[in-house]
Amino acid sequence: MIAQIVVALSIGFVWIFRFDNIVKEFNQYGLSNLTRTIVGALKIVLSTLLIAGIWYPSLVLVPALFMAFLMCCAQYFHFKVNNSWYKHAPSLLLLLLCLFIAAVSLKGIQ
């Protein structure tokens, strides 16, 4: 549950309060505004589902896996533009947390 809250709040903070940084990064990666908008909307929806999953655990697995996929994509683009490890760290940490959330969720289903 704590991991779900950390992921959701981190995504919300970055995509709401640090949006200017997101715009710069997506431009650096050569991605369109439409792509940025879709990714942002998807991350906000997935974060909301992770929070809702506190009360409805059946909602957790799919959003955690989709968020992990998006974090893998973020890692790819960080490597593509040769960003420093300092830039890789947040999405790598969130990727690991999402995989942890998915694993715990799977264990709860069995």
Say how far apart CA 83 and CA 91 lie, in whole Å: 12
Reported pTM: 0.90
Q: Enumerate residues 6+ apart whose C-beta is below 8 A from 44.
A: 11, 12, 15
**Tokens 């992990």 identify what position?**
68
Say how far apart CA 73 and CA 68 lie, in whole Å: 9
- 3 state DSSP class of 83: coil
Give the residue ranges of the chain where pLDDT is below 70: 110
Specify whether the CB–CB gap between 10 and 71 falls below 8 A.
no
What pLDDT is recorded for position 95? 97
Q: Give the chain's length.
A: 110
What pLDDT is recorded for position 1? 86
What pLDDT is recorded for position 110? 61
